[in-house]
Chain A
Amino acid sequence: MNDESAATALTALFATVDPVPTATMTAAYDAFEWRDIDASLASLTFETAAGVSLAHTRGEAPRLLTFTGENITIDLEVANEGGTVRLLGQLDPPRAADVRAEWAGGSVLIRSDTRGRFQMVDLSTGRMRVSVQLDDARVATEWFHS
């Protein structure tokens, strides 16, 4: 078995015993539908380590995530509580705005107060993003895990 036949054989091996599952491919094709062409992206610029709680008696210690976008910073405290997620948010500069949390199975829309604060409870665990409607622009955080 020379290098070339090894290459062919290995490629065939992986394709045979470990292909990408069909449902996984379908989900990746459908990822395109999550494209938010009207929103600019707020990237994750800071994150506390997702550590195991030392002092909390219920669930894990909340994580603090900071997303920086055009003209806005979105701070999120993400807490997993008994299988659902609680989000505490802070917009900077502070302002009242429509805030949406989105995940595969649904979304929630609320309004931040004039100090830019908001809270959402009983959200699904897993992958989600938060978007904020500014005056004539929308900013969406990158997808993150709760």
Chain B
Amino acid sequence: MNTTMVRMSAGHHRHPYRCRGIVGNIDIDPGATLASAAAGNRAAWESLVSTYAGLVWSVARSFRLSEADAADVFQCTWLRLVEHLDDIRDGGRLGGWLAMTARREALMLLRRTRSSVVTDTIDDAVDTLLPEVDSRLLENEEIDALRLAFGGLSMACQRLLRVAFADPPPTYAEISAALDMPIGSIGPSRARCLVQLRGLMPDPAND
């Protein structure tokens, strides 16, 4: 039995719960791939990175880090995995371990770079986790409308949705590790954030 499986509350029967290694929303067998990487197989390592890159990057970005700082956190997380390749036996725990490690590295970076005289003047209401993108580069008007709406969400919602809808979508255990949220609160919080998001979308785009 996959030890990361969590009992879903009744209200989420419509949203498919993704459980690593069982529903198979990722292509690899994490345990076997981990073992192969630990044995020195670089191709196995690369497939680990490819598989969990979306999750790790989403965690780094959820801290409102610049691209350079997020890249530093990203790299540190993978270096940590290299250091611990022999220690992680349960492939099912790898995603959660990576999420937790990325979170820890982000917090350490913030401690390192924060000056003593910072006054946090970031206005939550106007900040967005998403980088500025030339709208003309976005082919899809719906995606652009979504981007604008996303930027109108509370920062807490942006962080939750940014991680929850990384590619491929993480498990509840991984989201919990990334955001230090109790697993049971993820579903309800995500639902509330999606309601907020819909409210910010222009009407004709709603189905």
Q: Do A and B come from one complex?
A: yes
Residues of A whose CB lies within 8 Å of any CB of B are 1-7, 9-21, 23-25, 27-29, 31-32, 34-35, 37, 41, 50-52, 127, 142-143, 145
Q: Which of chain B's residues has its CB closest to A43's CB?
A: B83
Q: Which of chain A's residues has its CB closest to B87's CB?
A: A41
Chain A nearest Cβ from B89, distance in angstroms:
16
Q: Quick check: B83 and A41 within 8 Å, CB to CB? A: yes
Other A-B pairs beyond A19-B57, A25-B53, 10, CB < 8 Å? A3-B14, A7-B15, A7-B165, A14-B54, A15-B167, A23-B71, A28-B78, A31-B79, A41-B83, A142-B83
A41 to B143 CA separation, bound complex (whole angstroms): 46
Chain B nearest Cβ from A107, distance in angstroms:
16
Q: Quick check: B161 and A10 within 8 Å, CB to CB? A: yes
Contacts A13-B147, A52-B116 given; does A31 touch B138 at CB 8 Å = no
Pick from B57, B130, B142, B143: contact of A20, CB below 8 A: B57
Pick from B71, B166, B167, B194: contact of A24, CB below 8 A: B71
Chain A nearest Cβ from B115, distance in angstroms:
7
Residues of B whose CB lies within 8 Å of any CB of A are 14-15, 37, 40, 42, 45-46, 49-50, 53-54, 57-58, 61, 67, 71, 74-76, 78-85, 108, 111-112, 115-116, 129-131, 133, 138, 140, 142-143, 146-147, 150, 161-162, 165-167, 169, 191, 194, 197-198, 201, 205-207
Interface residues of B, dominant DSSP = helix
* Residues from chain A with Cβ under 8 Å of B197 in the complex: 6
* Residues from chain A with Cβ under 8 Å of B54 in the complex: 14-15, 20
A29 to B167 CA separation, bound complex (whole angstroms): 18
Q: Which of chain B's residues has its CB closest to A11's CB?
A: B165
Contacts A7-B169, A143-B79 given; does A32 touch B74 at CB 8 Å = no
Most central of A7, A37, A127 by chain B CB within 10 Å = A7
A24 to B75 CA separation, bound complex (whole angstroms): 7
Contacts A9-B142, A10-B161, A52-B115 given; does A29 touch B85 at CB 8 Å = no
Q: Which of chain B's residues has its CB closest to A17's CB?
A: B133
10 interchain pairs (CB within 8 A)? Answer: A10-B150, A14-B130, A14-B162, A21-B67, A21-B71, A28-B74, A29-B46, A32-B45, A50-B111, A50-B112
Q: Quick check: A37 and B40 within 8 Å, CB to CB? A: yes
Chain B nearest Cβ from A27, distance in angstroms:
5
Q: Quick check: A14 and B143 within 8 Å, CB to CB? A: no
Q: Quick check: B15 and A127 within 8 Å, CB to CB? A: no
Q: Quick check: A35 and B85 within 8 Å, CB to CB? A: yes
Pick from B76, B81, B111, B147: contact of A17, CB below 8 A: B147
Chain B nearest Cβ from A97, distance in angstroms:
21
A25 to B80 CA separation, bound complex (whole angstroms): 15
